[in-house]
Amino acid sequence: MKSRSQLGRFLRTRRAQLQPSDVGLPEFDERRRVPGLRRDELAQLAGVSESYYTRLEQGLSRGASTEVLGALARALRLDETEHRHLYDLAGVGRTSSDARTRKPPPPEHITETTRQLIDAFGDNPVIVLGRRSDVLAWNRTGHALFAGHLDPGSPQDPDRRPNTARLVFLDAHTRDLYEDWPKKARDAVGRLRLAVGQYPSDPLLAALIGELAMHSAEFTDLWAQHPVRAWDTAAYRMRHPLVGPVDVTQQAVPVPSGPGQRLVAVTARANSASQAALTLLAQTTVPDARTGPAVDNPTAVSTHP
């Protein structure tokens, strides 16, 4: 996952997505040999020489300035997240001693203050994800919503931690969980792309991407498109085996005490059937002092015919 080669691929995919008419260039009737803009057209828009831009795409140029990268971002019509990703891939702001590029990041764990933050959400579904989208922690309802078929204690063991990207592409339960699975899949790939830009020397991240590419043609196709997705807010319809369809908003916020970590909280519209379904999910997974944890029984608790 060398940053310069990733930078070149990102530039090529974004260039291919723009037509001359998108950026105010005249179109003639000649047959174009490449999809989207030609290199010389993009170089012209960004105000750089074609030879210099070509070296950037080929991974042969070092140290692109912020001015050049900004001009390319504007020419390519990048949004704010894609713009930041372009800077990450180019190594802007990194020094030779930056730990992210010189050695693998240390193992991830949550702090006691993060555990207190999770507890403060009560029965609202919450999970904490690491830099590679590993599940570092979840509350009882978060486990029931996202992965009730897995061991609830698995996030505590680094060797058994669920990974949300792996679940999206390789786990049948998770695939069925999202009504618009292609949207969820694209979001998962877009967030991995961000991680690659931020942690280019992480061997476990590289191994995860290699595993997904080996076992999922859908992942490989999406990865080649270089989507980039911010950790912010996303709406999904989930088809939960216990409580049926649930329209939720998943909001991700940085964890102050955990670099690269995100707390994802799930909510539903007030007084809606989806909010009632989340409440029911919380109630049906409350441990019983006499019998232990509640048993998942879709037919017994489903609120939908």
Tell me phi and psi for residue 287, to 5 degrees.
Answer: -60, 140
Q: What percent of the chain has pLDDT over 70?
A: 85
- pLDDT at position 28 is 57
- pLDDT at position 256 is 87
- pLDDT at position 47 is 87
CA–CA dist 220, 257 (Å, integer): 34
Q: Is 24 left (phi over 0), alpha (psi -120 to 50) or beta?
A: left
What DSSP letter does each residue of 57-102 carry, written as one string?
HTT------HHHHHHHHHHTT--HHHHHHHHHHHTTT--TT-HHHH
Q: Are strands 233-240 and 244-254 parallel, antiparallel or unpaired?
A: antiparallel
Residue 5 has pLDDT above 90, yes or no: no
Tell me phi and psi for residue 162, to 5 degrees.
Answer: -65, 150
CA–CA dist 100, 205 (Å, integer): 12
Lowest-confidence pick of 96-100, 199-203, 270-274: 96-100
Average pLDDT of span 113-121:
94
**How distant is the alpha carbon of residue 157 from its chain centre?**
22
Nearest in space to 125 (alpha carbons), one of 138, 141, 144: 141
Residue 155 has pLDDT above 60, yes or no: yes
- Number of helices (H) and strands (E) in the chain: give both, helices first: 15, 5
Residue 282 has pLDDT above 90, yes or no: yes
- pLDDT at position 96 is 47
Domains of the chain: 3-93 (1.10.260.40), 112-301 (3.30.450.180)
Give residues with Cβ within 8 angstroms of 270, minimum separation 6: none
Token reading at 303 = 């609120």
What DSSP letter does each residue of 164-191 carry, written as one string?
HHHHHHH-HHHHHHBTTHHHHHHHHHHH
Average of per-residue pLDDT values in the chain: 85
For the whole model, what pTM was predicted? 0.79
Nearest in space to 101 (alpha carbons), one of 193, 228, 203, 209: 203
Nearest in space to 201 (alpha carbons), one of 102, 108, 106, 133: 102
- pLDDT at position 93 is 62
Give residue-wise pLDDT tens across range 84-113: 888 888 887 655 444 444 566 678 999 999
Residue 258 has pLDDT above 50, yes or no: yes
Token reading at 277 = 């379904």
The residue that leads in pLDDT, 17 or 29, is: 17
pLDDT confidence band for 290 (50 / 70 / 90): very low
The residue that leads in pLDDT, 47 or 272, is: 272
Contact 43, 53 (CB under 8 A): yes
pLDDT confidence band for 302 (50 / 70 / 90): very low
Nearest in space to 50 (alpha carbons), one of 37, 32, 67, 31: 37
pLDDT confidence band for 122 (50 / 70 / 90): very high
CA–CA dist 126, 145 (Å, integer): 9
Give residue-wise pLDDT tens across range 203-248: 999 999 999 999 999 999 999 999 988 889 999 999 999 999 999 9
What DSSP letter does each residue of 207-250 carry, written as one string?
HHHHHHHHH-HHHHHHHHT-----SSEEEEEEEETTTEEEEEEE
- pLDDT at position 139 is 96
Lowest-confidence pick of 8-17, 209-218, 261-270, 294-303: 294-303
